[in-house]
Amino acid sequence: MIRFLAAFVMLMGSHLQAETLKLAVTTSFNNSGLSDVLLPAIKADTGLDVQLLIVGTGQAIRLGEAGDVDAILVHSKKAEEAFVAAGFGTHRREIMYNDFVLIGPSSDPAGIAAAATAVEALQRIAGAQAVFVSRGDDSGTHKKELSLWSAAALDPQQFGPWYKAVGSGMGASLNTASSLDAYIMADRASWLNFGNKRDLGLLFGGDPVLFNQYAYLPVNPARHLHINQVGASRLEEWLTSGRAKQLINGYQINGEALFVFNAVP
Amino acid sequence: MTPPMTASLKDVVVRRRGKTVLGPVNLDLAADGFTVVLGPNGAGKTTFLKVLHGVERVSGGSVTWSLSDAEARQAQAYVFQSPIMLRRSVRQNLAYPLLLLGYEKAQIAQQVAEWAQSIGLSDALDFPAPRLSGGEKQKLALARALIRKPRVLFLDEPCANLDGRSMRDIETLLAAARQAGTRIIMTTHDLGQARRLAGDVLFLIKGMVHEQGPAATFFAQPSTAEAASFLKGDIVE
Amino acid sequence: MNEIWAGIQSAFRLIIALDADLVEITLRTLQVSLSALVIASAIALPFGTWLAIRRFRYRRAAIATLNALMGLPPVVVGLIVYLLLSRSGPFGVLGLLFTPTAMIIAQVIIITPLIASITHQAMRELWAEYHDLLISLNTSQGQRVFTLIWDGRRTLMTAALAGFGRAIGEVGAIMIVGGNIDHATRVLTTAIALETGKGDFALALGLGFVLIALALVVNLAIHALSRTEREGTW
């Protein structure tokens, strides 16, 4: 028995590794399904085996700081700039954007579908004290939500029990909203790919303030010698190429384009 | 010729939870013979045996064998009052002491076969030892003790609760062991058995050696009143 | 109820189609948990047995500590292993974070106290039974440990299987130290967490049934292997 196990373990452990690159990405990026299209293409064009660590922006940045990944792809401009300024990343390269939308029960008790701006929509939710699920996990989406509340001159710290910070990823938060019939802010891609919509519907979107810029930041090899610097720049080259542009702009769910490529070659 | 295996006990005392259960005992054990340890319940017979074997620690005094401690222990075997069976087959129980001694496979197989036959368990070699009957277990325990060819054999009530047939088998095995020169020290409750087997007798009361001497003398003319009333079957405290 | 039914269906679909991803994830799950089981058993079985037969001054404290460690929260173990293995941590140079090895390390830490504690309890009983005989036969410490492990192997198998069950069903720690990387460190439990996050309950549940089936198969296989011995039950 033990001999069998030992042989099995050795067999499993011995398979060879191609050139790998560890990339921390946000849950919203992965949930969109875009990674399933991009990764095989990257592998075919560059030979890179990109290993995705799917985490919130907060943790992605920590992983980059610690040198546990070779690059990060996130969407929180302030945090990204701080990351580069502190010397953890070499530079910040904008790749594409998608947009956030406001989701809620199709009956829309707060009437946000009629709001003119995202800020007004949030003010209506707060005014109606309708149940609202917040990511509450320091992710890019969470930070964006907080900045909108603050633009609406409201402070989530003061909110009553209708405001629920669940401290989870996009999918788990959407699951919570769906079972509570609550409002939630999500990126369009995660929403379209989400399989448990139940009574929820897309109620508000399109305000430019909701645009969500993704940027690529290679980790600084000066701080961490083991970083795959060559691979990271090869990936950057690919992500800003015409091939990436075609794949990103062409990616659709239910006939809707999700991402807009805006990298400067 | 290996040196004779004698033991000398000096002021041996065993205390448990503040109570003295044995001693002080001062005694010299001869190298040869069949000693039966007699005495009422709670006289310290089992403790006495375990102290001699070195599995029970003394609270005071010393037990000195004429061999080094390690050699002495290796040359002894002990059969416990309720036989301890390894959770293995009869075969593996018999083989166990020989495995510990590093015997070769073929040698072990041969010895096991011989001893299994002598205790009538040849057909049960692959039977789980813990599921044997009481008499079979006791015989197996005895064979497992003798298979090491000990120079000294300790037996603690080997025939308690056994049927006549098993008792006879065991006494036959003991007689053969004596014949082969094994020194035997045994406790028993059964005065009949003591009369049949004993060469000399140690009579214990309340942890003290009350009387000792040749069996014939002890049974015919006990020198103390307590021994006399014990032999009569009276209650002795 | 509909979702449970859909989950069963999707489990069947995955298994019948021998979905390549499913096979890969399942094999990795087995690789990680069985490796952890072998390593943890190699540590815990002798240690638990030794603890049962050896008297020493801090024995009680050691046993109490062991029992307390049994309740280690996996997430905390994961976090600590993560911090230790991180490139910025003390063992960062080994480059083990986000590899199956890191997951094995975390699982070994989680299940070793469990296996050792169950071993200790079982061996204490057996030792009480064997004590006089093994002392009388002048056995060495090593021979005693070996005899107890051998004769108690059925109970110990139960201990090991309990450890395996905990390892294969664990998600908190391995999610943190493995990172749930597709084709590298994704195992059944982390895949289930991922699919749940996507709201794909049918697929998540399907994977869940595969996980349960896997645990059952391993248990039955080990029991069957042990039953091929001749002695039968005692």
Based on the domain organization, do A157 and A225 belong to the same domain? no
Which of C88, C182, C199 lies closest to A174 in CB terms?
C199
**Banded model confidence at residue C234, pLDDT cuts 50, 70, 90:** very low
Range of C43's domain?
Answer: 2-227
Overall number of domains in chain A: 2
Q: Is B121 helix (H, G, I), strand (E, B) or coil?
A: coil
What pLDDT was estimated at residue A202? 94
Q: A151: exposed, middle or buried (C-beta count within 10 Å: 0-12, 13-18, 19+)? A: middle
Whether C233 is in a domain gets the answer no
Whether A23 is in a domain gets the answer yes
Whether A235 is in a domain gets the answer yes
Which of C129, C136, C234 lies closest to B128 in CB terms?
C234
**Banded model confidence at residue C231, pLDDT cuts 50, 70, 90:** very low
Range of A235's domain?
Answer: 14-97+213-261
What pLDDT was estimated at residue B173? 92
Q: Which residues of B touch C136 (CB under 8 A)?
A: 53, 55, 76-78, 80
Based on the domain organization, do A167 and A227 belong to the same domain? no
**Banded model confidence at residue C229, pLDDT cuts 50, 70, 90:** low
pLDDT, tens only, A106-125: 999 999 999 999 999 999 99
Contact in structure between A90 and A215 (CB atoms under 8 Å): no
pLDDT of B1 higher than 50: no
pLDDT, tens only, B30-87: 888 899 999 888 888 999 999 998 888 889 888 888 888 778 888 899 999 889 999 9
Whether A3 is in a domain gets the answer no
Comparing CA positions, the residue from A24, A18, A31, A8 lying closest to residue A253 is A31
Whether A8 is in a domain gets the answer no
Overall number of domains in chain C: 1
Based on the domain organization, do A73 and A126 belong to the same domain? no
What pLDDT was estimated at residue C107? 96
Q: Which residues of B touch C153 (CB under 8 A)?
A: none
- Enter the tokens of residue C91: 């063992």
What pLDDT was estimated at residue A100? 93
Cβ contact C137–B100 (<8 Å): yes
Whether C234 is in a domain gets the answer no
pLDDT, tens only, C20-43: 888 999 999 999 999 999 999 999
Cβ contact B97–C136 (<8 Å): no
pLDDT of B4 higher than 90: no
The reply to whether the predicted model has a pTM over 0.80 is no
pLDDT, tens only, B82-108: 899 999 999 999 999 999 988 999 999
Question: Residues for chain C: how many in total?
Answer: 234
Q: Which of A173, A195, A210 is the last residue of a domain?
A: A210
Which of C27, C98, C200 lies closest to A53 in CB terms?
C98
Indicate the average pLDDT of chain B.
89
pLDDT, tens only, A15-56: 444 689 999 998 878 878 899 999 999 999 999 999 999 888
pLDDT of A12 higher than 70: no
What pLDDT was estimated at residue A163? 94
Check which CATH number belongs to the domain holding A52 and give it: 3.40.190.10
Highest mean pLDDT among A7-11, A27-31, C1-5, C123-127: C123-127
Residue-wise DSSP of A153-190:
T--GGG--TTEEE----HHHHHHHHHHHT-EEEEEHHH
Among chain A residues, the shortest Cα distance to C42 is held by A2
Whether C33 is in a domain gets the answer yes
Based on the domain organization, do A145 and A237 belong to the same domain? no
One CATH from 3.40.50.2000, 3.30.70.120, 3.40.50.300, 1.25.10.10 for B7-79+151-232: 3.40.50.300
- Taking the C-alpha atoms of residue A243 and residue A223, their distance in angstroms, rounded to an integer, is 32
Whether C232 is in a domain gets the answer no
Question: Is C21 at the interface with chain A, CB within 8 A?
Answer: no
Question: Is C230 at the interface with chain B, CB within 8 A?
Answer: yes
Residues of B in CB contact (< 8 Å) with C are 53, 55, 70, 73-74, 76-78, 80, 84, 86-89, 96-97, 100, 126, 128, 130-131
Question: Mean pLDDT throughout C169-187?
Answer: 90
Cβ contact C151–B78 (<8 Å): no
Comparing CA positions, the residue from C180, C227, B99 lying closest to residue A30 is C180
Check which CATH number belongs to the domain holding C196 and give it: 1.10.3720.10
